[in-house]
């Protein structure tokens, strides 16, 4: 609804299962997040891949965006290193301050360099990335999962 996935507590996790990052993986994540505290504080999140107990591949620090609701949310982009293939993505709230996560987008990483043909050899097969593989995850009442760890 208007709040996305909010009212979080420390160590709450929002996750997206079976996300296909294609042949190149992702090099940036953009989240739409609402944080309504206008008191110079920030809420923090870690992004983990495949295992919520693994090391974070990205960290988000979100200050005041205008409101807790989607209408007052902002977009925050941070670099991330997600390998090619299918993965689960976990967003973990890491401090006592709350917020509302409503969307996550991943930018496709650049394709690997292609080897140069030498002495009449043949070029290796390459992946032709015709479409940027952006994953949009919009959380709704039926489309998100929250795992609470208490």
Sheet containing strand 135-138, edge to edge, reads: 74-82, 26-34, 100-108, 135-138
Give the C-alpha separation, 62 to 8, whole Å: 14
Query: Is the separation of the CB atoms in 5 and 100 below 8 Å?
Result: yes
- What pLDDT, in 10s, does the model give residues 92-143? 999 999 899 999 999 999 987 777 767 665 655 555 444 333 333 333 322 3
Give the C-alpha separation, 62 to 75, whole Å: 10
User: Partners of 78 in the beta sheet?
Assistant: 29
- What pLDDT, in 10s, does the model give residues 62-95? 999 999 888 999 999 999 999 999 999 999 999 9
pLDDT score recorded for residue 1: 58
> Is residue 95 helix, strand or coil?
coil
User: Which has the closest alpha carbon to 129: 106, 104, 105, 112?
Assistant: 112
């Amino acid at each position: 609804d208007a709040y996305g996935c909010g009212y979080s507590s420390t160590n709450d996790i929002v996750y997206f299962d079976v996300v296909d990052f294609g042949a190149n993986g992702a090099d940036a994540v953009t989240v739409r997040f609402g944080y309504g505290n206008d008191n110079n504080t920030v809420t923090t999140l870690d992004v983990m891949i495949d295992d919520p107990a693994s090391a974070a591949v990205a960290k988000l620090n979100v200050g005041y965006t205008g409101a807790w609701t989607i209408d007052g949310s902002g977009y925050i982009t941070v670099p991330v290193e997600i390998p090619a293939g299918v993965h689960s993505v976990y967003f973990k709230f890491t401090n006592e301050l709350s917020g509302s996560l409503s969307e996550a987008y991943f930018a496709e990483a650049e394709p690997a360099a292609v080897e140069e043909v030498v002495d009449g050899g043949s070029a290796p097969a390459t992946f032709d990335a015709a479409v940027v593989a952006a994953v949009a995850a919009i959380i709704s009442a039926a489309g998100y999962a929250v795992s609470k760890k208490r």
